[in-house]
């Protein structure tokens, strides 16, 4: 059984009510519940966290990365701006998949700049809540293959 982390960034606590035409109607609790259920079916543990604070995200990663095998992260807006989050991920050397609910490539120009994507194992964008489950399936396959 592997330990997988799921970290969500700013404003994702508002899922289901914040711009549902862009981000969908699922709440973060809905997404986390489905991910935990899938992780359990796949034989893994999943620890979830959401923070509106860049420092809170970095602190949680530093506290929980030891012993974890993989990370799934939706950095929210910090994916476009956070050198601190990038540095934390590089320093921890924890492989991760980046997830974005909306298709960031079809949105405003400022959303097309990424601080984490080039150091991620992969990135899923624009598939809504399904993107989290696809990331989890990918992670489980990577762990099964010893990657």
CATH tag, 3-76+85-144:
3.40.50.9100
| CA 40 vs CA 44, 82, 132: distances in Å | 5, 31, 15
CB 127 within 8 A of CB 98: no
Each residue of 29-54: pLDDT tens digit? 999 999 999 999 999 999 999 999 99
Each residue of 15-31: pLDDT tens digit? 998 877 777 789 999 99
User: Which residues sit opposite 73 in a β-bridge?
Assistant: 7, 98
CB 61 within 8 A of CB 92: yes
CB 99 within 8 A of CB 121: no
Supply the pTM of this predicted model.
0.92
Mean pLDDT, all residues of the chain: 92
CA dihedral (107, 113, 140, 91) positive or negative: negative
38 phi and psi angles, rounded to 5 deg: -65, -45
Asked if the model's pLDDT at residue 115 lies above 70, the reply is yes
Catalytic residue list: 23, 100
| Planar angle of CA 94, 64, 127, nearest 5 degrees | 60
Alpha-carbon distance of 64 to 67, in angstroms, equals 7
pLDDT range class, residue 98, cuts 50, 70, 90: very high
């Amino acid at each position: 059984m592997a330990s997988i982390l799921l970290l969500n960034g700013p404003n994702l606590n508002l899922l289901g009510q914040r711009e549902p035409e862009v981000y969908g109607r699922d709440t973060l609790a809905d997404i986390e519940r489905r991910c935990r259920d899938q992780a359990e079916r796949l034989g893994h543990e999943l620890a979830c966290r959401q923070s509106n604070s860049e420092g809170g995200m970095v602190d949680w990663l530093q506290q929980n990365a030891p012993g974890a095998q993989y990370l799934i992260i939706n950095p929210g807006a910090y994916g476009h701006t956070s050198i601190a989050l990038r540095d934390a991920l590089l320093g921890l050397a924890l492989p991760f998949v980046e997830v974005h609910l909306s298709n960031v490539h079809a949105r405003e120009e400022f959303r097309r700049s990424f601080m984490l994507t080039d150091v991620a194992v992969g990135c899923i964008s624009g598939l809504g809540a399904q993107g989290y489950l696809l990331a989890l399936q990918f992670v489980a396959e990577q762990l099964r293959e010893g990657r």
